[in-house]
Each structure stands twice: as structure tokens, then as C-alpha cells.
Structure 1
């Protein structure tokens, strides 16, 4: 029986509901700005933004016959300042009520900010302070905003709850497809919060309430309860957090210890802490920040003792429906924030205004995040994308733009949810075809007309490329314009002249790029379009000397990457670089993403858009680059299957007999005597494999090794940058960023010496070319719909593609010796799939990290059983190379049990890595293992441990220097006696 189709009317109705709720959700800042705008209009003041009108106070004044108020302030610095919008929120001081006649003497409204130094008739706004004070009494903004909140929740409360449930299900599906939630996890959280699921989703199902079991709890830290976090507690103590608005909404913590550490990570840095605390009320945020040092000390101290009593002290179960609780909790938080931030007329003479009395609401910062920025993450807004930084002014324009962006994001999620026909299996969903589009469009148009609410946001811009195909030309210093652009405003309207300064000179157009002025001209191309280009001021009309520029998504000018002129001109050289002869470029393979699609697939190639990679999802747009990509990926998959089904392996070269203590030179010479290449198989977190290659790269080059073939690097997105780096020695920034991300994600060498980034640099230094042997189709398998039991698709697709690229490289550049680095499930036969060593007549060495004094050197590989995933249902499998090389490294302990053995005595220490964090683990005087976070201020490393006064708080240029300081104070690196 065919699956029922999604209800187009339900989908359209929900999208209309979402647009209405988002657009009408109140904001304290927006409401105050509207009141301020109305005040300006009342006094016949037009064309001014209330966010750019300032009320300044001074401690002195001079009379002036020219000033509207009769007073001016020359060479003066305001004692306090706020915008008119902020003044609506905070109102005047209680002492001003009885001294209103002095407001014009010691204060005034101006268009100039507090740094202007002179405030007179030239920058004043014609308002009397005592008139504005009286207006505030008649407006009673506190009561006005309270009425807006009541109206919103009375009208949209049930719709808000429906959208909260919809968002929860969307985020759960996305987490399931990203493998952040297993199938069992997904079933547990949806069953607990929603009840039995039926597909396709319907509006009545989202509107239905479901009583929660006792397993659904709130989250609290040291007594501070989150207002919109759901915590799902599984029978064995496993906990799953749902944090609406986070980029990853679901987090699975295996134990109370893991949850404690996870919270420490969220509280450890300002950016992470700000995002995390957005889930708490304004009052709690202020209390937490005011007592941050004490709270962090207690959290760290209790974590070091495995005491988790500060976490979930209340351990409160959610009663009733989870989404009713989310809605009610959000409503309560919004009213509480308004009450904390505002003072009514009735309270005015009872206390000083909160902005001047309380250290909790300082300098008006938190006002920007009261209202919809707190509410809308519950229904699908991204906390990060809303820009909740309290130091950041939020004016009416940016608030409107953010709401438009939120509408687009929420509607996209609704599209995804209603396009799913049935949940098939982990990572596999069946989606609807385009047959519902017409009905949906008609329903949507009808509903939009009824609610009268704008539905769309701005069209998404094409993503900034992950890796540029070619470097950006360097603009010569002599091309800087002898032009001062201060006081001139660039064109802001979208179109050809956006961002351009129009000058009364020749040349008549200029831009500001990297704080430097350049003359530009508009150059049309043969297709009828064109671009702006920086020109040489000495030759403004020359047609061979210009550098194309463009506005990037951040609104900043940048040089456009280009390979050269269409007529055959040479590409611009990068300044300050040595160069090599250009390499013969390999032709694009049939599995590479075609050039016209690359700009649309950059995020997917970087792993930033897993949803669009899923086979069972389609945007239903007429043009969808991901749809074309998935055709390429499926073709590679079937071609790889066909290849391995008929494979006849070539004759293998002999595995040389080597002494256990053979030198690197002996290993390389004997292997390459008969083999075409040497394949290093590794666990990607390993240090020894990269260390061996880096330390022996010069030796490899001396043995005529010309190429280093690397997994993780993509031919269609990284190779051009790799080739440019090899030629010029200047690594494109985005290639460096990608390699650093590989190192962070795989937690490689904490001392940053033996990493993917340093490996690529050392290869170039020794004249060995790095060639990618992955492509987007072989690497980004997220969401690919595979037959049950097919556990080796990645191995087959990558190995097959690597074989093609190695042979193409050998053909284009001449047969030569090579070395490769890849995971140990690719280097040799794994689970019945031939590895690159077997396919390409090479010898594979599996490299293992081992503790000092335990290396067996090099020997025939006995193999090792390794787990292939992070859940109880993941399988284990044997990895085995032709040879195994064990390399001693300092950082072989990973679990606390291993650290117990590694650090038997007081004063011994080692390093422990977690994603994005490194800790010192040491044995204390009380015989406990204590962990201390190594922090960084950008380039320097430090720790905060007052008990170690000789190092606490001091900055060190490298991790190694910090560890040396520990050694100097008498501590000892556990398990390692050699110099680092």
C-alpha cells in the first residue's frame, strides 16, 4: 500500500503560522525604538534614527544664544550618554523629576556621540529634556510593553507551542541523520516528548499534547534552572540534552561525569558561555556572570573530585506536555525580563532606576536581548546567527533583517519535515516528490493574503568558497589612492554602485579595502555583466593593469581570485614568495564536481550542510546543485561496486625482511626497491605516523619520492590551492584553515609539531607534491541511502577513486616513487575490501603510537581489532598492514584509568585532549588526579592555578614553553624521559 502524501494545506498553514508568530513576537528594543521615533515625529524632527540620537549629561555648561536650549558644551566629555531608544527604556533619574528645568542646562539631545568633544547648535536635536520627561510619564512604556507581551501570548501562545514541537522534531531528525542521535536515541526522545510518531507529519499531530514520562527533566547548574532546555534521562544514566537554537541542538552524554565536563566546556570561554547562558533567564545570567569566578572554581573543583552535586540539584521532572512547558517557561522568562529591565510609573519614586542602581543591568547592554531574541530559538531561530552579543547595538534595521532571516530558516525546516514520507532506518528517510507543490503554493498564497505578513527573507547568497581555485592577486602598494574618504559615504543601495565612493575627481569612483582607498573602474565582459577593478592611479585608462574586486557576504571589498587573462596573460604572482615551475594540472575526473556547481556546494564539501547531502531530501527547487552532486556520488558508488566485483589484483611486490630496529633509510630503501609506493596507514588521531613522515621527508625526497598522496583532501575543492602552495610557497588561508580544522577535529599533536598542516608544509619544503586522493563524492557520504549491511561503502569508494588519481598522476607527471597517508582501513585489505597497497603494488605500514620503552620497532603486522564507531551497536573489525611500525610518543594515555597508571607519584603530569580543549592532568599532594585547562589568549598559552604562583596566569609563546615551566618548578612529565 503506498504511503499517504503530506497534506499541502497543513504545510502551508504551518508556514503562515510561523511567519506570523516570528513577525509579531515583541522585542523591548523594537518597542522602545518605535516610541522614540514617534517622539521625534511629534516634535517635527524628521530623518533621524533614534538609535543615532544621544542624550548626554555634562558637569558644566556655557550659555549660548544660538543653541535651541540656550546652552552649549565646548571641549566637554559627557558624564553619561545613552541613545533616545535607551532613554525610553531607562527613563530619567528620579532626581530629574524635581529638577526638570536643569535637564537643558546640564544635558541635551545631540546627533554626535560621546566622543565629539563639542556639543552646540551644529549637532543638537531640538528637544527639551523636560518635555521628553513629561512624555515618558504619559506613555508609561513599561505598561505599554507589558500590554504587547500579553497581546502576543494571548493571541499566539498555542501557535508558539505548535512551532516549538515542530522545531524539536526537525532538530531530532537532523541529529539522527548526522549520527548525533542513534536510532535508539531518536526513538527515546521522540517517544518521551511526542509519543508515537506517524508519517507523514500533519498539523493536528503537532498541535496534540502528550504527557511526559518522568524521564523528561529540566537542567540546572548550582541552582540556576535553564528556561528552555529539555533533559532526557535514560535508565542506565545516559542523558540527552535538547538545546533549541544551538547549531547542534542535541547532545548525548554517557554519564554524569560527561555532563559535568560538557558544562565546563560551555562555561570556559566567553563565546561558548554567552550561547549557553542564552538558555537561562536574564536575572540568572546576571547572577552567573557576577559570580562567575566562584562558580567556575566550584565546578572545576568538584569535577576534579568526581563530585557532580552542583549539576541538576533540583532534578525537576517536566510535568504535562513538554512543549507546553517550553512555551510557558518562555512566556514567564519574557515577562520576568521585562519586569527586571523596566520600572513603571508607580515604582518611579520608590527606587532609583534600575540602570543606575543595579550592577546587574550595566550600560544598557542586556536590553538588546530582551524579548524575541530569547523566545524565537525555541521555535527554530539560531542563537549564533541572531547575534546576541550584549556589546553589539541592535537597531531597527538589523532587527528586521534578523527576523526575515529567521522566517526563512524556520520555513526551510518546515519544508524538510513535511517532505518526509516515512522514516525507514538510521540515516534514511523517504521524501515526497514535487507533486504537492502546486497545491501547497495555492494554499500558501491564500493564507499569506489572509494574515498579511511578509513571508520571505532575503535570498541566500552563494557561500564563500571553502578553498579558492586560485590565489587572490596582491595589489601593489603604489596603487593606493591619494584620496581621503573621511566624511564621504559609499552608495548603500543594492546594485552596480553598492559600496562605491562617488568622487568629484578623475577617476571618479573609489573603494575602501582593508582600510586603504583605491581607485576603481567598472569593466564589462562579453556576457553583458561585469565587475569593479582596482586600477593603477598612474595609468587609470590602461586596459592591461587592473585587479578585479568584489563585495563579499560581509559587505567588505576583496580581490577576486583569477587564473589570468582570457587572452593568455600570466597570473599575478603572490608577494614575498619563492616559486617553482608550475605542475602539469591533472584533468578533472568524472567524479569531480563540475566547475559551475562548486560555488553552490562549498558548504557541503566542508561538511557544513549535511541535510542537503541526504539522498532522501530534495529542496524541490528547479535548480539544486546538491541534486546533481548526489547523482555523481551515486555513480561513483555503483562504479566502485562494479570495479570490486570483477577485481583481479596485480601481483604484489615482496614484503622485505627487516630487523626490528631497522633505520628509516633501510625501511624506505628496501620497500621502494621493488614496490611502486609506500602507504602509511594510521588512526587519524595518531602522532607517530605524521611524525615519521615529517622527520623523514628529506630522506624520502632523496630516494626520488615525488608525490605524497593524502586522504581527506579533495581533488575538486582543495587541489588547486595545494598546487598553488607548491608553486609559490604561500599557503592560501582557506587551505590552512581546513588543515587546522582536520587537526582540531582529529585531536592530533597538542604541541602542534606533527599535524596534517605541518605535514603538508614539510612536503612542500622538500619538493614533494601533495596530491589529493579524495573528492567530495568519495568523502561526503553523510545521508547516503545504502543497502542494509553495506558497511564498506566508504572504503570501496575512496580506494577506487584513490587508485584512479594515483594512476592519473603517474601518467601526467611521469612514473615516479610515491608515499601515501590514509586511514588504516584504506591502506591494506579491510573487511574483504582491497586496500590501496594491494591495488597499486605498494607496501603498507600500519603505524601505532606506543608508550616510551614499549616499541617493538618494525615487524610483520599481527593486526589489531579496533571499534568502528561510538555506540554499543557499532561493530569492531580487524585492521592489518603488511608491516607494523610502533613509534613512541608522550601522549598515549587517554582514559582516566590509563592516567592512574601513568602518574603514580605526586608532581607527575601529562596532557589529555578533548575536542577543542587540552588539559594538564597531574597527581596532587592528596593523591588525586586533578585536571587543569590550558587556555589561550589567541597566540599565547596559560593556565589559571593559584597554587602554582610561578606559572599561574603567565603567558607562554608555545605549549612546549608552558610545559618547560612546569618542569622548572619541579614537576615531571609522566611516562616520558626524553626532551620534548
Structure 2
């Protein structure tokens, strides 16, 4: 095998352990106490309870005025004009609470204030932009909350679940740092191997990779170490690890250079003394040794560091260090976990409870709430994250930016990458080209791949048909013949892997979970797509496996000769699993954010931008309104946000001509929205899905009865939404007012349909998640007039679901011919459509481009 092939083979062999550790990282980060998310969840609950809507708290404003006018049309009975005297978002209001004068006059809250979906720049605050929420109810909810107690519960729950996981990940981080220091020459190979065996006695040679089982074991021979409680610090930020003879290693988990070996403790003391004589470096040690550089105890630490720097010689420095030495007793990694746990617990206990707040009333709450952030880092980067490999330097986040970051998912994504970097190094994985090796570790394994067995799967009778959409345009070289994981594989120069099945080229990736190669989209090997596993026969030929056909039962009416089949993919995503669904929605948000980051989008410091005549926020660019802009960490487009609100009813106009839009003239709004969408970035990197059901007016019966067939053209006649989160589909493809016999919400019938747009099969869809009032739906939006061709029709059936599956491809709309409405299946007539809208120009805009 070539060196490149040997590297890839090693990467694949340890990938199973890597994915297990990645899941551990995800579990830890999911449950890591985040005060911002705590406040956000409680604000969402308040909005849901009082409005019945899943509103984004960061798009709900509290405004306070000096005057008010009565109105029978507004929810509170009052309206306001002009700029408010005081404005803040709902989350900020949770921190600062209502003004002190309202303490004894809470009835006036709803007279002189209100909640609105627009910021302080609006001309009017009335029924057109109000959030139907009473301030006195919110005030009562605030006092019913005890965020301090809730945060303490978060901390306790985190450690009860993850104390052992923390120990494992702290160990993997040390192993990673050993590899880094060895490669950089700060550790001799013998020193590195000695430390590896201290961490895990089964790592008997440099080439032996750790396993999850081995990492969980407590060392038979504990690490011989002492940590220095400089100035009385209770953080093991400076640790001396003893090797054979007189050799020692200093371990600074927070530093850029984490490990360094010395011939003797005296040499180590000399190096530390020299470090501390640099003021900037000394400040780094101070930050590592205390959670709060401004706390009373920090002064003693600062003085002790200065004393070490001012010693006359290395021997004096060593004497001071030894005076503060604390020997490690028992499992070193358990000690690290215990120290991190205690620090987090103390931080949580510093939070003032509601009972204490009541004596200080409103103003005291500001300081109390801000202390909540102590466990995440305004007083210093958390030791817990440092020990897991997520140092400030690796994460690439300024501490201040991390504290005030509004995008919690973005912060966690940065932490995840830093921690997986440690996993990558500890397993000895090597990048073979353009990030492909790290991507194989860091990608989130699809749930339908993670929880399934291929036992019982059989050979496909027609692999060419099943793999038609994944045929690659590539000429393959000779495959690898060496027995092992890579036998039969053709490897590209960047580590990409390919096979020829019945003479046709396909891209594949190895699934350590299934222990099989999978045929994947050639341009997106980590896409969430149905499983297409292959195996190498004894004759050296690749074979496609398929799930066994369903047997028995009373099948629904298939009609029109539709092929009935089961689906491991839909068996997973037709489940109701909020945690997994949120995980996929968060992946979509991160993807959409990365896409928007590549676009030149205007940035405004505060949401004080003007409104147009219909109340939609915008910024002015070259004398023209621009509705897409960035406000801090958030992307804004009021036009899109309004479309996604449940009561906007704009599609009622496009579908039936009903003028029920509450935010101005329908035609004017649609023209502005279309102009705005055209300017936004598009991509087709992921598959999209859309559910339909007769009870929602989106029946798929016409596909089942043979009215529509493969090759027919469908056109969107409304604002048509697809999702990239397949867990969302069930609520749109089934009757959610009913439950199955097992209690699962959503009953399917013969009108149920699921549309699928494979990755790369569409062009004009606009991802709108970051502009939406319902970001969890992970939407991509298509304007009216988008044309799709039916590529495949089948019936998918599972234990408690069945639907017609319609695979689509976006195509250019021919100048003539028969089209069918995507929503209804009826033949499309442009003149009838224009008459429905009572506006020929709008109809022509969408259908005569």
C-alpha cells in the first residue's frame, strides 16, 4: 500500500472510536450549563403560554412611553406614537425588569408600555405590530421564575450525567497534547510514550490508538503528579508530571504550548520563573489560576506569581513552588473533574435567588442575573472547557465575545470543533487532503445510520435503478487489491473513495457504525440520504444491499402500480423525537449562517432602522430600501419573518385570491418579498422535503390514482416551503389532530404525500431559517412559478405511516405544454391564475420570466 493508502486505512480503523468520542462531546456540550440558553428557553415558554405561538424572544421588544391613546383595535386597549422612552428585547427585560415606578403601579404597565415585533424606530405602535401579550402577566411570570435555582439544577444535572464522560474527554485531550508536543519537539518520543501509558496502560506503543473502553478504565498505575496551588489557587492550572528518573513534564492545559519536558524539577522552575518575568505571560497564568481576576483571592495569586518572577534564582523559585505543591492522590483525571465540578458549583451558588431579590426589588436583579454568566466566563474562561481542549486560543473566541454572543449554537459549534481537534490528534488521525479526514470524524452521523443493523438485508435485484441518481461522472483507476478495508476501493488524490458497481462509478464513504461502505452523492458524501450499503463479494465484485420487502398486513391502496417499499431512512425520521429534531435544525441554522456569511449583507449597530409605509423594517442603501441586514449577530428580513408568522395568510391570497393579509397590500408585499429573495444566496447542498395531507389542502391523492406520473411537470403557485429537517415532515403529511394506536401524534391516510428534492436537484430555493419566526422548521422557500419534474413515484410504508413519495427535480419551465399545480395537482392555467390574483402583472412576474 502507498503511504496515502496506509494513512487512510488507519483513519478508517479508528473512525469508530472517533465517532463514539464525538457523540460523547456532543452529549457534554448539549447539557453544558449555558445561562443564555436557560433564559431563552424560559422566554420562549412565556411567549408560547400567553400567545399560543412559537415566537422568537429576540424579535420581541418591550417599549415604554410617556403617553398613550386608547384604542378598541389593539390587544391592550392602548396605542402609542413616536419613539419610545425606553426599549429593550424580551431577554434584556428578563435581566433588567420593568422600571421602578411600575413596582407599585403595575396596572399602568399595559397603558404606557407594550410588546411589539418592531424595534424603537417605528412611527406607530398599535395592532399592526403588537405582540398580544400583557406586561402584567409577564411581570408575574418573571417573579415566578427562579433562574438562579434553575441554573443550580442545570449544574447538578450536568455533573450527575457527565462526570465520567468529562474524565474520558480530559484524558483524550491530554493524549492529544502529548502527540502535539512530541511532534513539536517539546517531548522526546520516550517521554511521550511514558505519558501515554500513564494515561492508559494499554497504549503500549506509539502506533496503538486508544479505545473508548480503555479510556473509561481507571489507571492501574496512577499518574505521579503534583499541582501547584500558587497563592492559594484551587485550580490545577500548573501541574508537574513525573517521569522516570529526575525528568518531569509541566502541564499547562490552558496555554498555547500545553506540555514541556525538563531534565529536572529545577530546570522546570527556571523556565517558569523566566515565563513569569514577562508581564503579558504572567497575566495568562493569573487568568488560568483564578476564575475571577478581580476577586479578593486573586490578589494573593497575583502577589505569589510576582514573587516567583522576582526570585533571585531557579532554586528559590523551586522552593516557592514546592511549598505550594499538592500531590495528586488517586485518579488524576477524576481530580480534574472534581475541581471543575466544584468551581462550577460555586459559580452557580453565587447567583442571587428570587427570595433575596424581593428585598432589593427591581434594580438588584440586574447584578444578580449577570452573575449567572459567571459559570460560562465573564470572570475567566471556564476550567471545565480548558480541560476538554476548548481553550480560548483553539476556539478562536474572545472571552467577551463568548459571553455576549447571541448565537449559542455558533458558540457550541466552535467548542465542538476545538474538542474534536483533540480527538483527531489523540487517535493519530492524519489529514489526507482538504479537510476530508477531519470531516469524516466531525460530521454528525445521521440518526438513520447510527441506530440500524444491516442484518437481514439482501442483494438488490436492480442496483442500477436504485443508484441512478448517484452515478458519478468520473473515470476510475485500478482499485486497491490489498486485503482489508480498502480492498476494491479506488482512491482519489484527496482521500476520496470510489467503487465501480456493474461497471458504473459511484462515490462511497465508510460507515464505522454499519461496518460497510455506503454509496453517497459524489459532491456531498455526508448528506442525509437513504442508505445504500454495498459489499465486496468473494469474486471481487461490489454488490448493493437493500432492505427486505415488507410482508403481510393490510396494505393501503397503492393504485397506479406504485412500488411499495420500506425505508430505514423514514423509519427514523417519522419518529417524534424533539431532541434529535432540534439537533438537525441546529445543523441547518449553522449551515444557513455560513451561507449568509459569504454574502455582503449590510450591518447595523442597533435595531433603530426606519420602517416603510406598511411598517416593515429596512435600511437605506443608495436611496433604496434594503430589507435584509444584520443586527449584531442576527440576520433580519422583516418581509420573510412576516411570511413565516402563522397568521400572515399571504398564501391564502396566492391560492384562493382571499385578501386577508394583515400587513398591507398583498401585491405590493409580494413584489417586495420577491425582490428581496432574489438577492439572497442559494445553494442545493442538502436534500429537501415537503409533506402534504388532504386535511391541509395539500393532498397527494392525484399521485396515488395515476392522474400524475413520472415525467409530468409541476409548478408552484404559492410561496412553497421545503425543509431540510426530515423530522418536520410528519406534522405536515399526517392528520396531527389524531394519534396512532401507540399514541404517536399524526395519522396517515391515502392523501399523505412526501415530496423530496435531492441535493443538487434544485436551483432557486432560498434558505430562510435565520429570518424566520419558526427557525426550527429549517425552511427553504421557492417563489411561485418554480417548475419541477417528477423523477420517481413510489409508496413508502412503515409501522405507523405510509405515504406517496414524489422525487422531484427543478427544471426550466418550457414555453408551452401542460403543467400541474404542485399543491393541488390540477392543470395550471395562467389566465385563471391572473384572474384569481386580480393582477396580471404579478402573475406575469412569476410565470413569464
TM-score, normalization by structure 2: 0.43
Greater C-alpha radius of gyration: 1
